């Protein structure tokens, strides 16, 4: 008995003295960089993190929001401007985006972009050096500009770097633009579609440094769904959410910022329903004003003239659609419930099951959210009137692939949604295209590349990289930058 106790005591002491690494090497150390400009970059990072942990439970996978490294004034100003422009002035945002794309054609390397100055170079460098990752992956393009500078200054040349492209943007016409230069700055670019891959290839990006993986999605393997199975899935989702199982259901959403004229779109749907029962789900993200107005319209504002004035102003375009003013005011005062409408206002919440419950989803064309719905065969109307920048490229891509329709006038959402829901031939084709889109998604290949290259790094077999044309260091010459901005044609390309 005494001997057993002594042996137990001996091993207990030994366990406190022997490093944990003795019993197994630590897993790969992976850093994923993201930024909360919209929800897509964060969601892509989180999905990739989850997949990596599933594939290798020993992996240390940290997601870092690089907004922490931005100068506070710049961060707050940029984020406020981004949110405001996306919601209130999409045309202005689009011009700013295209200006950046134009500049991307004239620089030598992505590290030359002035947007790299949003970040505190030394803070990013010191944080990454402290983490000492085996692989760095970015889902946010602007931080790749800083990573390009690091490599040109002798940092992380022996660390594999990947970039996940979360929108369907390419310069096209064989041009080497902003996003093509992103691909040239990393060891592997994970692209959202074959179409973007082919554009990058025409622009001179080596095929060995890019993969058409699709967006990072969490998809459960399954055979293609039959029409009956889709209907069963839809009804099950409605019952689970407390909705009417056999009632036409239309959903309006617009990402984290909840942009667009929700009262107008709701009124358009109610007009088209013409008294027939209909369920309308309105997902307004973090936009509290939109959510509040949907709650007003659910049960009516009664005699509250101030609220009525606000709502009528937003719904006024319905007058041109043939809705009498008295009708609009009645909807506002008595609420949508009195019109036979089941209105479900949602804030910022997971939307997967709500989308499956809908016949049609009218949405703002973010890159990842549209990919999620396309993979599940959710019929989409992409609202280009409130889209800008990269989102307009997403509209073109998904419409061309037969996965969505475009809407340019929110006052006509109702007509379009009802016609689309009734067009069985169109939906049959859309569901077939969806299954092809789903089968073509290769998210797992992103994780496989990351884990494989983490092993190469740890074994000292990853070759040193130094390909950037950026040479000026973190305080690159302003004169050089100005010359590049006004250059009449692209400068020599650093391969």
Domains and their CATH numbers in the chain: 22-218+442-485 (3.40.50), 227-439 (3.40.50.2000)
- What whole-number distance in Å separates Cα of residue 357 and Cα of residue 250? 9
For residue 482, the model assigns a pLDDT of 44
For residue 392, the model assigns a pLDDT of 87
Contacts of 259 (CB under 8 A, 6+ apart): 86, 87, 90, 287, 364, 386
For residue 491, the model assigns a pLDDT of 33
For residue range 7-26, list pLDDT tens digits in order. 334 334 333 333 334 345 68
Give backbone dihedrals phi and psi of 281, rounded to 5 degrees, phi first. Answer: -100, 125
For residue 467, the model assigns a pLDDT of 53
Report yes or no: 391 and 287 within 8 Å, Cβ to Cβ.
no
pLDDT < 70 regions, the chain: 1-25, 86-87, 465-495
For residue 39, the model assigns a pLDDT of 75
Pair of tokens at residue 199: 């554009």
- What whole-number distance in Å separates Cα of residue 155 and Cα of residue 415? 56
Burial class (CB in 10 A: 0-12, 13-18, 19+), 206: exposed
Three-state secondary structure of the chain = CHHHHHHHHHHHHHHHHCCHHHHCCCCCEEEEEECCCCCHHHHHHHHHHHHHHHHCCCCEEEEEEHHHHECHHHHHHHHHHHHHHHHHCHHHHHHHHHHHHHHHCCCCCHHHCHHHHHECHHHHHHHHHHHCCCEEEECCHHHHHHHHHHHHCCCCCCCCEEEECCCCCCCCCCCCCHHHHHHHHCCEEEECCHHHHHHHHHCCCCHHHEEECCCCCCCCCCCCCCHHHHHHHHHHHHHHCCCCCCCCEEEEECCCCCCCCHHHHHHHHHHHHCCCCEEEEEECCCCHHHHHHHHHHHHCCCCCHHHHHHHHHHHHHHHHHCCCHHHHHHHHHHCCHHHCEEEEEECCCCCHHHHHHCCEEEECCCHHHHHHHHHHCCCEEEEHHHCCCHHHHHHHHHHHCCCEEEECCHHHHHHHHHHHHHCHHHHHHHHHHHHHHHHCCCHHHHHHHHHHHHHHHHCCCCCCCCCCCCCCCCCCCHHHHHHHHCCCCCCCCCC
From residue 439, give the alpha-carbon distance in Å to each of 32, 196, 353, 442: 26, 17, 21, 8
For residue range 66-101, list pLDDT tens digits in order. 999 988 888 788 777 777 776 677 778 778 888 888
């Amino acid at each position: 008995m005494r001997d057993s106790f002594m042996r137990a005591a001996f091993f207990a002491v030994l366990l406190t003295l022997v490093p944990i690494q003795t019993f197994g090497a630590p897993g790969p150390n992976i850093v994923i960089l993201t930024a909360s400009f919209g929800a897509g970059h964060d969601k892509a990072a989180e999905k990739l993190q989850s997949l990596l942990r599933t594939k290798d439970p020993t992996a240390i996978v940290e997601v870092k929001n690089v907004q922490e490294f931005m100068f506070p004034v710049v961060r707050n100003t940029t984020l406020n401007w981004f949110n405001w422009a996306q919601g209130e002035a999409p045309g202005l945002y689009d011009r700013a985006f295209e200006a950046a794309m134009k500049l991307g054609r004239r620089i030598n390397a992505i590290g030359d972009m002035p947007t790299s100055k949003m970040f505190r170079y030394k803070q990013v460098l010191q944080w990454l050096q402290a983490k000492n990752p085996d692989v760095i992956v970015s889902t946010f393009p602007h931080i790749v500009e800083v990573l390009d500078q690091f490599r040109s200054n002798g940092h992380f040349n022996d660390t594999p770097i990947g970039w996940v492209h979360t929108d369907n943007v390419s310069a096209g016409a064989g041009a080497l633009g902003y996003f093509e230069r992103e691909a040239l700055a990393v060891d592997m670019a994970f692209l959202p579609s074959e179409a973007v891959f082919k554009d990058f290839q025409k622009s001179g990006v080596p095929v060995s440094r890019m993969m058409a993986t699709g967006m990072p999605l969490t998809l459960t393997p399954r055979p293609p769904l039959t029409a009956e199975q889709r209907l069963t899935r839809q009804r099950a989702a409605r019952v689970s959410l407390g909705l009417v199982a056999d009632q036409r259901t239309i959903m309006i959403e617009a990402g984290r910022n909840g942009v667009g004229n929700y009262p107008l779109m709701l009124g358009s749907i109610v007009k088209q329903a013409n008294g027939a029962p209909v369920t309308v789900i309105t997902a307004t993200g973090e936009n509290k004003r939109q959510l509040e107005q949907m709650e007003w319209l659910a049960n009516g504002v009664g005699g509250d003239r101030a609220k009525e004035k606000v709502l009528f102003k937003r719904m006024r375009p319905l007058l041109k659609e043939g809705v009498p003013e008295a009708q609009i005011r009645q909807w506002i005062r008595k609420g949508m419930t009195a019109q036979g409408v089941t209105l479900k206002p949602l804030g910022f919440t997971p939307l997967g099951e709500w989308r499956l419950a809908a016949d049609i989803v009218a949405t703002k064309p973010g890159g990842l959210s549209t990919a999620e719905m396309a993979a599940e065969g959710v019929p989409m109307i992409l609202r280009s009137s409130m889209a800008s920048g990269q989102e307009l490229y997403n509209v073109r891509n998904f419409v061309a692939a037969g996965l969505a329709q475009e809407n340019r006038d929110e006052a006509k959402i109702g007509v379009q949604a009802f016609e689309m829901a009734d067009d069985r031939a169109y939906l049959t084709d859309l569901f077939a295209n969806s299954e092809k889109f789903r089968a073509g998604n290769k998210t797992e290949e992103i994780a496989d590349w990351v884990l494989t290259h983490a092993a190469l790094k740890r074994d000292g077999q990853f070759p040193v990289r130094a390909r950037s044309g950026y040479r000026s260091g973190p305080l690159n010459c302003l004169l050089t930058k100005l010359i590049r901005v006004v250059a009449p044609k692209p400068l020599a390309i650093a391969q």
